[in-house]
């Protein structure tokens, strides 16, 4: 045998130069973490030597080299044409027969390990990909649900061609990688049948603040591309590492996403024949499944434990992709790479504080990425083909962004999308280029007009807000390392759990006053007795609102307990091991009455500042 193919059991993290970061990591985990209980799907890698052989046999190395000498590296005016020509050179080439034969032979060997028909994922792995200093996320192509030898070889050639997508060319230019010194390896991996279950992404660090004591997981029904590309708003989970290490209850936050789409295998049915070359399709998620969490608590903690094992092995924060097999109900880790934003941050103690001088009319809201502000003209684009319309410093408004948008994203001062979560493509790229982003707004492209002046604010914790007009704000850089702690016990007053991780980096000895009122009014929203006496409520409108908010809870009282405990847990985790002192509700009767269903249970007091105020009637 030649050196064109290596099984996952033959490669490790030291083989990046021949199989790329993605495949090297898979081999490393397959060899060293499978014995620790981490499930990694089997597979093999077509090495970079096969890529160089393809260029040599087809005599296109010099042609490619000369082609890139013509690239306009100032304005990239001919990027699209250069990329198209480069890809066509690869697509017109032939994979050498000896390499084709080896790919097919190893594919048959992989199939023979199972007593049922398998499908494979064909993933590109550039030899400079997934390094600690650059994410290379989504620069080359992946092909899913490949189920025969002919399609496998076709997918391999398309992977080679994807080394020269416009976005990959621009990314290499931006990161000073020489085009003819980067090769492509291909990973061929048994697919996990997540099309019949779910999949997602995980980070061993909070993606917005760099807080290291949590694992952050997201996921949706079906194949994981919807989560990665930001096509859906996924479920989100936070798991507290110190509790998980001690086998205590560790899930401190669970948030349900809308999950409107499910990516599945494209398969022939009685009513429809799938067109040739179409391997996957996106379908609407049934209403009932949108209102379910994709995995249970045991599965959340299992993925989190595996994530911590991977982090411990690599000695750095990690970005992982996970999947659940709907046929066997087994969980798997299908990729892992270094987290590239906070793991390389040299000055974590420097905080730039932003403060709006005044607020304006709210146009849209979504999930914030980062903690900055940007203002400027909105540019509403429907596809990367319209990228010429975006001028330097404008704010990009789009339904979603995929890697095809990458060449222009550095121009944008902010990115706003209708769809996607905080682990979507738009969010990852925004962090990498230092842009402000608000994702998953639902309707920004309909509400915001092209050319409209707007302000994008990520100052409200998890909520990102888009305001009408150009607002003014103050900026101040604070080096918290230079602040001397006094002899007293400086403790914070805090009510918003979404701000907890960020505020934990301030010099402190914990939280001296956690106010429950904020949580009750903003997260719970319902009067406690309206939950206790839900079945006998007279206010039918309130009853309908409560039903909508609490549909996950058969016992309505559990909703209040669960939401309150998650809020306390997020703040307690953020400041662990320091004290967090929780104050019971200080609501006045009129404030309780303004909660959903509250008017039936509150007396009308002449002076709500006196009387029942602060009495713990509902504990």
Per-residue pLDDT reduced to its tens digit, 546-589 = 999 999 999 999 999 999 999 999 999 999 999 999 988 888 88
Res 535: pLDDT: 94
Q: Residue 518: helix, strand or coil by DSSP?
A: helix
Quote the CA–CA distance of 56 and 46 in Å, as a whole number: 16
**Residue predicted with more confidence, 279 or 573:** 573
pLDDT higher than 50, residue 453 = yes
Do 14 and 100 reside in the same domain of the chain? Answer: yes
Looking at the domain assignment, is residue 282 inside a domain?
A: yes
Looking at the domain assignment, is residue 433 inside a domain?
A: yes
Res 345: pLDDT: 57
Work out the angle between the directed axes of helices 16-32 and 48-57 (0-180°, nearest 10): 150
Do 65 and 168 reside in the same domain of the chain? Answer: yes
pLDDT higher than 80, residue 129 = no
Taking only the tens place, the pLDDT of each residue in 337-394 is 988 777 655 455 677 888 999 999 999 999 999 888 999 999 999 998 898 899 999 9
Do 371 and 494 reside in the same domain of the chain? Answer: no
Taking only the tens place, the pLDDT of each residue in 238-252 is 999 999 999 999 999
Residues in the chain: 619
Strand partners, 474: 355
Do 494 and 561 reside in the same domain of the chain? Answer: yes
Res 277: pLDDT: 61
Res 594: pLDDT: 93
Res 58: pLDDT: 97
**Residue 380 contacts by C-beta under 8 Å, 6 or more apart in sequence?**
397, 398, 445, 448, 449, 450
Quote the CA–CA distance of 501 and 575 in Å, as a whole number: 8
Quote the CA–CA distance of 457 and 354 in Å, as a whole number: 9
Query: Is the CB of residue 347 less than 8 Å from the CB of residue 141?
Result: no
Q: What percent of the chain has pLDDT over 90?
A: 69
Mean pLDDT computed over 478-492: 85
Of the residues 170, 191, 212, the one at which a domain ends: 191
- As to burial, measured by CB atoms within 10 angstroms (0-12 exposed, 13-18 middle, 19+ buried), residue 445 is buried
Res 336: pLDDT: 94
Verify cis geometry, omega within 30 degrees of 0, for the bond prior to 577: yes
Work out the angle between the directed axes of helices 16-32 and 297-314 (0-180°, nearest 10): 130
Domain carrying residue 144:
5-191
Do 171 and 92 reside in the same domain of the chain? Answer: yes
Looking at the domain assignment, is residue 612 inside a domain?
A: no
Mean pLDDT computed over 46-73: 96
Do 377 and 286 reside in the same domain of the chain? Answer: no
Instruction: Tell which residue, 300, 228, 236, 287, has the closest CA to residue 263.
Output: 228
Looking at the domain assignment, is residue 345 inside a domain?
A: no
What is the layout of strands, in order, in the sheet containing 43-46? 5-7, 43-46, 184-190, 120-126, 142-146
Of the residues 282, 306, 338, the one at which a domain ends: 338
Res 130: pLDDT: 46
Mean pLDDT computed over 313-319: 95
pLDDT band of 278, cuts 50, 70, 90: confident
CA atoms within 13 A on the CB side of 432: 21
Looking at the domain assignment, is residue 266 inside a domain?
A: yes
Looking at the domain assignment, is residue 606 inside a domain?
A: no
Count how many domains the chain has: 4
Do 471 and 489 reside in the same domain of the chain? Answer: no
Pairing state between β 510-515 and 492-494:
parallel
Mean pLDDT computed over 135-154: 84
Do 389 and 454 reside in the same domain of the chain? Answer: yes
Q: Residue 379: helix, strand or coil by DSSP?
A: strand
**Residue predicted with more confidence, 385 or 438:** 438
Mean pLDDT computed over 296-310: 98
CATH number at residue 157: 3.30.1490.20
Token pair belonging to 66:
């000369």
Do 231 and 154 reside in the same domain of the chain? Answer: no
Token pair belonging to 414:
């902010």
pLDDT higher than 50, residue 135 = no
- As to burial, measured by CB atoms within 10 angstroms (0-12 exposed, 13-18 middle, 19+ buried), residue 72 is exposed
Mean pLDDT computed over 283-302: 96
Mean pLDDT computed over 473-493: 86
pLDDT higher than 80, residue 615 = no
pLDDT higher than 70, residue 131 = no
Res 374: pLDDT: 93
What is the overall mean pLDDT for the chain? 90
Query: Is the CB of residue 220 less than 8 Å from the CB of residue 200?
Result: yes
Q: Which of 130-134, 173-177, 516-520 has the lowest mean pLDDT?
A: 130-134
Do 14 and 154 reside in the same domain of the chain? Answer: yes
pLDDT band of 137, cuts 50, 70, 90: low
Do 278 and 225 reside in the same domain of the chain? Answer: yes
CATH number at residue 559: 3.20.20.60
Res 616: pLDDT: 65
Looking at the domain assignment, is residue 118 inside a domain?
A: yes
Instruction: Tell which residue, 514, 517, 513, has the closest CA to residue 528.
Output: 517
DSSP 526: B
Token pair belonging to 235:
């479920």
Token pair belonging to 177:
């990688």
Res 132: pLDDT: 45
**Residue predicted with more confidence, 177 or 310:** 310
Quote the CA–CA distance of 383 and 235 in Å, as a whole number: 26
Mean pLDDT computed over 581-601: 91
CATH number at residue 437: 3.50.30.10
Token pair belonging to 35:
């014995």
Do 132 and 214 reside in the same domain of the chain? Answer: no
CATH number at residue 226: 3.30.470.20
Of the residues 191, 209, 228, the one at which a domain ends: 191
Phi, psi of 307 (to 5 degrees): -60, -40
Give the predicted TM-score (pTM) of the model.
0.85
Element (H, E) at 29: helix 16-32
Looking at the domain assignment, is residue 618 inside a domain?
A: no
């Amino acid at each position: 045998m030649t050196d064109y193919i290596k099984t996952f059991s033959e490669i490790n993290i030291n083989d990046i130069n021949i199989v790329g970061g993605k495949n090297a990591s898979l081999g490393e985990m397959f060899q060293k973490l499978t014995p620790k209980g981490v499930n990694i799907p089997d597979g093999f890698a077509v090495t970079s030597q096969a890529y160089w052989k393809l260029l040599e046999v087809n005599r296109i190395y010099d042609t490619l080299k000369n082609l890139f000498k013509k690239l306009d590296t100032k304005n990239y005016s001919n990027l699209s044409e250069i990329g198209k020509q480069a890809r066509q050179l690869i697509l017109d080439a032939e994979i050498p027969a000896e390499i084709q034969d080896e790919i097919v032979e190893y594919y048959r060997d992989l199939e023979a390990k199972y007593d049922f028909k398998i499908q494979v994922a064909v993933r590109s792995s550039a030899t400079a990909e997934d390094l600690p200093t650059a994410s290379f996320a989504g620069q080359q192509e992946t092909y899913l649900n490949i189920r025969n030898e002919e399609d496998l070889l076709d997918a391999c050639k398309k992977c080679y061609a994807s080394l020269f997508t416009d976005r990959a060319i621009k990314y290499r230019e931006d990161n000073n990688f020489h085009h003819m010194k980067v090769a492509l390896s291909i990973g061929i991996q048994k697919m996990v049948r997540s099309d019949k279950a779910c999949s997602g992404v995980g980070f061993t660090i909070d993606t917005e603040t760099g807080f290291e004591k949590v694992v952050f997981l997201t996921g949706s029904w079906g194949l994981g591309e919807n989560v990665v590309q930001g096509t859906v708003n996924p479920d989100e989970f936070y798991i507290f590492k110190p509790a998980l290490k001690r086998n205590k209850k560790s899930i401190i936050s669970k948030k349900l996403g809308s999950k409107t789409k499910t990516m599945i295998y494209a398969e022939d049915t009685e009513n429809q024949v799938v067109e040739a070359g179409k391997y996957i399709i996106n379908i609407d998620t049934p209403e009932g499944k949108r209102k379910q969490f994709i995995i249970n608590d045991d599965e959340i903690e299992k993925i989190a434990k595996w994530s911590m094992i991977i982090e411990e092995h690599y000695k750095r924060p990690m970005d992982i992709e996970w999947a659940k097999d709907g046929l066997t109900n087994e969980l798997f880790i299908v990729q892992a790479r270094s987290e590239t934003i906070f793991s390389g941050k040299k000055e974590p103690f420097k905080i730039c504080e932003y403060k709006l001088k005044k607020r304006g009319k709210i146009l849209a809201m979504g999930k914030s990425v980062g903690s900055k502000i940007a203002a400027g003209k909105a540019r509403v684009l429907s596809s990367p083909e319209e990228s010429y319309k975006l001028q330097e410093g404008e704010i990009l408004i789009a339904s979603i962004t995929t890697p095809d948008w990458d060449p222009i994203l550095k121009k944008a001062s902010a990115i706003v999308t209708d769809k996607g979560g905080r682990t979507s493509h738009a969010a990852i790229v925004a962090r990498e280029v230092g842009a402000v982003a608000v994702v998953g707004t639902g309707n920004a492209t309909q509400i915001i007009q092209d050319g409209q002046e707007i302000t994008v604010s990520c100052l409200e914790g998890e909520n990102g807000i888009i305001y009408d007009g150009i607002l003014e704000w103050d900026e101040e850089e604070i080096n918290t390392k230079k602040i001397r702690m006094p002899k007293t016990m400086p403790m914070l007053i805090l009510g918003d759990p979404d701000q907890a991780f960020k505020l934990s980096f301030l010099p402190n000895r914990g939280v001296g006053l956690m106010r429950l009122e904020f949580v009750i009014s903003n997260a719970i929203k319902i009067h406690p007795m309206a939950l206790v006496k839900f079945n006998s409520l007279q206010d039918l409108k309130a009853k309908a609102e409560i039903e909508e908010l609490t549909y996950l809870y058969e016992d309505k009282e559990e909703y209040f307990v669960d939401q309150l405990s998650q809020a306390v847990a997020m703040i307690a985790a953020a400041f662990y091991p320091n004290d967090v002192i929780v104050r019971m509700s200080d609501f006045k009767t009129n404030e309780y009455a303004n909660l959903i269903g509250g008017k039936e249970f509150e007396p009308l007091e002449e002076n709500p500042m006196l009387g029942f105020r602060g009495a713990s009637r509902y504990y």
